[in-house]
Amino acid sequence: MKFTTPPSKNKKDDYQLGYKDGYQQGIADKALEYKEIISALKKRVSTNRRAKDLSHVMYEISELSHDDTLDISVFYEGICTSLSSIVDTTNFFIARLNSARQELEFVYFRDTAGLLDDLTGEPPARPLGRGFTELVLDSGRPTLLTGEDIRQLCLRGERVANKLNATSWLGVPLITSDEVFGAIVIQSYTEQVQFDESDVNLLTFVSNNISHAIKRHEEKMARQRDLQKLALASQRDTLTGLLNRTTFHSELEKACTQLLENHFIAVLFIDLDGFKMVNDTYGHAEGDKVLKTVAKLLKAEVRACDAVSRMGGDEFVVMLPDIESANQATEVAKRMLEAISEYQCSNNLTVELGASIGIAVSERNKASAKELINKADAAMYDIKRQGKNNFSIEAI
């Protein structure tokens, strides 16, 4: 309320009072003008700071996508951390469609309100339905919802909410090559954090960068997995999956140089008895089946640090590094002979199937990989000549 002084009969007093009122009004007007200027400056500073943060976020996400050393989960964590400088990512997830576009996979998920209390890791994939994320996927546009929007959509049966009641929800599509492949979502469960159009604009602006970063990084990871598979395949026997001859020899050479003091290394050379008759009687397809089964039987009788290889045909070789005595090698040989015998009985093979096993044992610096294999091979042939289906051991 503004109070004014009654007009005075003295013209001089009236002039002075008028001047005083005008002066005070001028001060008030200036104060308001300065306040508006300061407010505009603050807004400009805030906008400039956010723009600077946005630029920094896009740079960080680009850097993440080009880092080939990052595990995919670390990559997603990096995206969330980067975004936290421009929006509240306390409750944040990245969801994407699977290859068949029939399920929604939550590749990254963080939620402080307890949605995952009864789960470990990310939520399981779920079929597409009437969730809120589908609003973004179906429209291909950002979706901003208040708590009341969510409640009304659920009351009308248009959407199905989870067990938590968000007070604010914002989802933005992930798009590459004009195709929506997922969404990034932020949500709040408190009135203190409410998303608005500025958050929509920021997240929409950066989502294109995120989309390409995710695709780029996933493609790199896929290429790396393919290369690893090729590298692994080059080390393996194509039929049994065991180490091939070259890789086994390399692993044996390494084990010989790393052999502990007062320990032994053993090589078992295994040749199947009667295998030619299996091929002749049942055919090569059944023969291959026998070889694959025997490979599994041999693997089952050794430790994780041991190595099993198919040398070719029906010949296998096993490395037992760092054993404490030769008896350990003979015990392994006995178990392998028993396993092969049980396999024949359980499959009712009319062909008598067995194995001849030659064992070579050496202490540290006593023999090379080649010498161990040759010695074990020779011991195996000794057993062949003596009647087969047994083992022989030679020390170097």
Q: Same structural domain for residues 201 and 269?
A: no
Does the residue 36 lie in any domain? no
How far is the first Cα of the chain from the last one, in angstroms, to the nearest whole number?
111
Same-domain check for residues 201 and 327: no
Q: What is the CATH number of the domain that holds 285?
A: 3.30.70.270
Q: Are residues 156 and 256 in the same domain?
A: no
Give the count of alpha carbons within 13 A of 378, CB side only: 11
Same domain, 221 and 249: no
Instruction: Say how far residue 128 (Cα) sits from the centre of its chain.
Output: 22
Give the end of a domain, one of 204, 231, 258: 231
pLDDT tens, residue order, the chain (396 aa): 444 455 555 555 555 555 555 546 655 555 565 455 445 444 444 455 556 677 888 888 888 877 877 788 888 899 999 999 889 999 999 999 988 889 999 999 998 876 554 444 567 888 999 999 999 999 999 999 999 999 999 989 888 876 668 999 999 999 988 899 999 999 999 999 999 998 998 899 888 888 888 888 778 878 888 888 887 778 899 899 999 999 999 999 999 988 888 899 999 999 999 898 888 888 889 899 999 999 999 999 999 999 999 998 999 999 999 999 999 999 999 999 999 988 876 666 677 889 999 999 998 878 899 999 999 999 999 998 988 889 998 888
Question: For the CA atoms of 77, 78, 82, 87, what is the dihedral angle to 10 degrees?
Answer: -10
Task: Indicate whether 250 and 389 sit together in one domain.
Answer: yes
Report the C-alpha gap between 394 and 320 in whole angstroms. Answer: 14
Assigned domain for 223 exists: yes
CA dihedral 186, 189, 194, 195 (to 10 degrees): 10
Q: Which domain holds residue 263?
A: 245-395
* Residues 212 and 73 placed together within one structural domain of the fold: yes
In a domain? residue 35: no
Q: Let me know whether 221 and 276 are in one domain.
A: no
Whether residues 303 and 224 share a domain: the answer is no
Angle at 260 between CA 256 and CA 261, to 5 degrees: 115
Q: Rounded distance, CA 110 to CA 115, Å?
A: 9
The rounded distance, in Å, linking the Cα atoms of 285 and 120 is 44
| pTM of this prediction exceeds 0.85 | no
Per DSSP, the residues of 44-64 read HHHHHHHHHHHHHHHHHHHHH
Say yes or no: 272 and 181 in one domain.
Answer: no
Looking at the fold, whether 150 and 251 belong to one and the same domain comes out as no
Residues 64-102 as b/e (b if ≥16 CB within 10 A, e otherwise) read bbeeeebeeeebbebbbebbeebbbbbbbbbbbbeeeee
Tell me: do 78 and 150 sit in the same domain.
yes
CATH number of the domain where residue 135 is located:
3.30.450.40
130-155: buried (b, 16+ CB within 10 Å) or exposed (e) per residue?
A: ebbbbbbbeeeebbbbebebbeebee
Can you read off the two tokens belonging to residue 387? Answer: 């009647």
Count of domains for the chain: 2
A 10 A CB-CB count for 285 gives: 8
Determine, yes or no, domain membership for 55.
Answer: no
